[in-house]
Amino acid sequence: MTLDERLENVAVLGAAGKMGSGIVLLLAQEMARLKVLNPDRSYHLYAVDISEKALDGLMAYLRAQAVKAAEKGCVMLRELYKNRTDLVENYDIIDQFTNDVGSVIRPTTELSMAGKARMVFEAIVEDEEVKIRILKTLDGLCPDDTFYFSNTSSIPIHILDEGVGLDGCIIGYHFYNPPAVQKLAELISTQNTRKELIDISHEIAKRLRKKIIPSNDVAGFIGNGHFMRDILHAVAEVKRIAGTFPGVEGIYAVNKISQDFLIRPMGIFQLIDYVGVDVCQLIMKVMTAHLPDETLESDLINRMVGKKVIGGQYADGGQKDGFLKYEKNRPVGVYDIDKGQYVMFDMDGWTKKVDDRLGPLPEGWSAWRKLLMDPKKEEKLRICFGNLKTMDTPGAELAKAYFKRSEEIGKGLVKDGVAQNAEDVNGVLTNGFYHLYGPINDYLA
Amino acid sequence: MKRMRKPVYFTAGYNTVSFGSGRKEFHPKKPRPGLEHYINEAGKGVLEQISDPDSIDEGVIGNFMAARFNRQGNLASLMVNIHPSLQYKPMVRVEGACGSGGLCLTTAVKSVLSETADVVLGVGVEVQNTVKAIYGADILAGAGHYAGERKEGHAYFFPAKFSDRAGACYAKYGHDKVRQAMARWYEQAILNARKNPRAQEYHNRIDDLFAAGMTPPNPRAFCEHINIYDCSKVSDGASALIVASEEGLDKIGIPKSRAVELAGFGVAVADITQPPPDQTKMTTVAAAVKKAYEMAGITSKDVGVLEVHDCFTIGGILELEAAQFVGEGEAFDFVLDGKTRFDAGIPTNATGGLIGFGHYTGGTGVREAVDLIHQLTGQAGDSQVSVPSDRPYGLMISMGGNDKTVVSCIFKKTS
């Protein structure tokens, strides 16, 4: 069965979730494109979720995102609709494509509706037992040759394969958040994975314009393999510097180091909030369960979840408060876990004092956003980090330690056989996390 | 050869800020001023420079597509809103796509020459940030032939038309030279815009402008032969001025030293249903400029300052050939040699041109005239170039569509 034939019936589980909704959007666009090219065939995308309310929100989200995607891709869409003489202006074409995307989607809370699917993408809760139970149910409904794509970011694929009994018809297909924007998909196959499924996975990536980076089937894979250990380093640093940067100062300082000094898109604590503090805790638990020699756990993370201060996003994409407090999606305060309240950045000039104690940014520094599209990015990074190397301010020392640990984690992923090589580690961080550079580099050498 | 029956003067020019992306205060999701604001600001900016608003006999407003960008027609009537003294006076709106501003000027001139007016208020306006660029491209495509070429046309219709011209020039004159000249043009435009606080690119802080200008095109998302730096931006703004007879200048209390004299003008229009006869030439621009030179009795050697219609870098460069500053195929080296720079032989687009200052389409022709008034009367501030006494003329080109509706005016110093 060809990919085009499989794309006639597709299901996404957890369709209204953060990852699921993005996956629905990507697949629905491709299916709409096929529908235009093959008007005599039918294309159905069963968007399955347990929450009807969330599905209502999903349709509004999809329409808005499909319009944005069509506006961005209008050059190609004009070619797609070149035979439609009634569609002349960009507006006509964007409107038609948006309608075509909507027409393939079948939102439902009934899992049985997905019984015709020849491809199932699951993006449900990161819980091994739940995933196995749902996939088992669906396996009983779908044709035998249905392929399953799991968006798990931590559970080994062979565990799901064996738990459900899919005999190699499942593969790890880990999109990054948000799926419609991030270029990366980590592909996790096992020794048992069918070759046809691997081939189709690469073909889908081309259609969805994703860059595939293979990861071996080790809990956490490359992405969370780096991210979770990065978190643990950050938390440990907060504890280590508590003498000079007590309480919220430590979180503020380490967040600033990881964002500004390292020129990343956001600080580590903002990233934890973006993913969800509870999600990070869950991923660490899964990884710990499947990694024989390592325990990934953080008292600070556990305490935050215990206090239900967990970040994540609102339905409209707005950032919920977590380690940091947000206004218009920008950090404005830090959570004081002992007092159970936020300390605002602008209160009594404390952040300025921390900034002063950390010291200046290196000579030649530019903000992440400014460097993102700069053709001389590499040269500028080299100059900036070259200067960082020579500095001995508290901020520079923290940044260098952060740099070093990030590199150790990256090299560890290669050494432990999670990643095939350093290039794949760097590729995941640059394509999936929007970093300007990979952790394995010679900037401070 | 046509001659004007009496002297006509241009004075009291005013440009608003060219507003849009690039300006620090611009935010696409925040409320912005509308048509009324820009028309009133520019109009009042003129009235403040003259002694008596009652002396205005007529008004002309140049605008391209307010009916679609702003859902507003009957703009002549909106012009009356500038000042109560304009009530019940003759007003007219003219349209020739992005050449509407140029047509505004010549329409005002004709009123003075026909002696129905001694003082005419000319305004050019466009407010385009009401829609996203992809929909604005639809609206601006109205400057092409809708029935004949829109369906087959590109999503970014006009950028693609000038991308085709760039591609033809690459093939004819060599890719690298043409590409580099276009990047230099961009660099020059931004450097000039940084001198003018009203320019849309005034806040531009790109370190290496030439490198930005050399960005490879991305045909999947944009055009085959040009990049975004080759294009003027989406702009909101207006410009206004007075066109007057000698008697008119007296009525509004403006000495000749603060005015420029229209030495000649040319209008040329080509068939919109036909493709350009040669993608590497701007033949309609050439026709309009030739008429203007003949009326003024001068050649390009007499021109000391220049305003060309560089909606796209390639367009600005080809207009140098059409306006006879260089021969066929020589404009690229001319630009690469820096001959059009602010301090060089023929300073071109001293406030940034359409690429740097901005391009409020229907108002741009008026903006060019205002800038030449300022240059020739020494009122251009930090944008002032040196206009040699033996070359006291300023020339402008206002173009609508893909070299279809063109107005060229030549002004000279009065003292």
Average pLDDT, chain B: 97
Contacts A90 to B, Cβ<8 Å: 134-135, 137-138, 155
Low-confidence ranges of chain B (pLDDT < 70): 1, 415
Calpha distance B355→B347 (Å, rounded): 15
Cα atoms found within 13 Å of the Cα of residue B374, Cβ hemisphere only: 24
Task: Note whether A36 and A169 are same-domain residues.
Answer: yes
For residue A372, what are the domain limits? Answer: 223-432
A91, B135: Cβ pair inside 8 Å? yes
Positive or negative, the CA dihedral A384, A386, A392, A397 is positive
Domain end, chosen from A166, A184, A215, is at A215
- A437 CB-near residues (< 8 Å, 6+ apart): A381, A426, A430, A443
The whole-number pLDDT of residue B2 equals 77
Residue of A nearest to B213 (CA): A375
Q: Is residue A351 one of the residues assigned to a domain?
A: yes
A94, B134: Cβ pair inside 8 Å? yes
Residues A239-253: tens digit of each pLDDT: 999 999 999 999 999
Q: Is residue A437 one of the residues assigned to a domain?
A: no
Residues A58-97: tens digit of each pLDDT: 999 999 999 999 999 999 999 999 999 999 999 999 999 9
C-beta separation of B295 from B3 below 8 A? yes
Residues A366-422: tens digit of each pLDDT: 999 999 988 889 999 999 999 999 999 999 999 999 999 999 999 999 999 999 999
CATH number at residue A310: 1.10.1040.10
Q: Is residue A441 one of the residues assigned to a domain?
A: no
Contacts A75 to B, Cβ<8 Å: 154-156, 219-222
B154, A78: Cβ pair inside 8 Å? yes
Query: In Å, how far is B211's CA from the nearest CA of chain A?
Result: 8
Beta pairing partners, A11: A46, A120
C-beta separation of B22 from B200 below 8 A? yes
Domain end, chosen from A163, A197, A215, is at A215
Residue with tokens 């938390």: A235
Q: Is residue A438 one of the residues assigned to a domain?
A: no
Amino acid at A262: L
Task: Note whether A54 and A97 are same-domain residues.
Answer: yes
Task: Note whether A238 and A197 are same-domain residues.
Answer: no
Residue of B nearest to A73 (CA): B221
Domain end, chosen from A156, A181, A215, is at A215
**How many distinct structural domains can be found in chain A?**
2
Task: Note whether A313 and A406 are same-domain residues.
Answer: yes
CATH number at residue A139: 3.40.50.720
Burial A225-241 (b: 16+ CB within 10 A, else e): bbbbbbbbbbbebbeeb
**Region of B70 on the Ramachandran plot (φ > 0 left; ψ -120 to 50 alpha; else beta):** alpha
Residue ranges of domains in chain B, CATH in brackets: 9-132+234-257 (3.40.47.10)
The whole-number pLDDT of residue B1 equals 58
Enumerate the H helices of A7-126 as residue ranges.
Answer: 18-37, 52-72, 74-80, 90-104
A75, B221: Cβ pair inside 8 Å? yes
Terminal-residue alpha carbon distance, chain A: 51
Calpha distance B122→B59 (Å, rounded): 6
Amino acid at A205: A
B154, A90: Cβ pair inside 8 Å? no
Task: Note whether A206 and A276 are same-domain residues.
Answer: no
Q: Tell me, what DSSP letter sits at residue B144?
A: S
SS3 B340: coil
SS3 A252: helix
SS3 A24: helix
Which residues of A sit within 8 Å Cβ distance of B? 71-78, 85, 88-91, 94, 375-376
Task: Note whether A234 and A94 are same-domain residues.
Answer: no
Residue of B nearest to A70 (CA): B134
Task: Note whether A270 and A161 are same-domain residues.
Answer: no
Closest CA to A154 of A263, A60, A279: A279
What does the block give as tokens for A272? 């934890």
SS3 A295: coil
The whole-number pLDDT of residue A313 equals 86
Q: Tell me, what DSSP letter sits at residue B317?
A: H
Q: Is residue A405 one of the residues assigned to a domain?
A: yes
Task: Note whether A230 and A209 are same-domain residues.
Answer: no
Query: In Å, how far is B161's CA from the nearest CA of chain A?
Result: 14
- A352 CB-near residues (< 8 Å, 6+ apart): none
Burial of B303 (0-12, 13-18, 19+ CB in 10 A): buried
B134, A90: Cβ pair inside 8 Å? yes
Interface test with B, best of A67, A82, A83, A89 (most B CBs within 10 A): A89
C-beta separation of B285 from B403 below 8 A? yes
Task: Note whether A388 and A365 are same-domain residues.
Answer: yes
Q: How large is the ipTM?
A: 0.91
Beta pairing partners, A188: A172, A215
Task: Note whether A171 and A268 are same-domain residues.
Answer: no
Residue of B nearest to A75 (CA): B155
Residue of B nearest to A370 (CA): B206
Contacts B135 to A, Cβ<8 Å: 90-91
Residues B227-268: tens digit of each pLDDT: 999 999 999 999 999 999 999 999 999 999 999 999 999 999
SS3 B374: helix
Q: Is residue A444 one of the residues assigned to a domain?
A: no
Closest CA to B8 of B102, B114, B136: B114
Task: Note whether A368 and A300 are same-domain residues.
Answer: yes
SS3 B154: coil
Chain B stretch 123-152, residues whose beta carbon is closer than 8 A to a beta carbon of chain A = 132, 134-135, 137-138, 141, 146, 150-151
Task: Note whether A268 and A416 are same-domain residues.
Answer: yes
Q: Is residue A265 one of the residues assigned to a domain?
A: yes
Low-confidence ranges of chain A (pLDDT < 70): none
**Number of Cβ pairs < 8 A linking chain A and chain B:** 36
Q: Is residue A125 one of the residues assigned to a domain?
A: yes
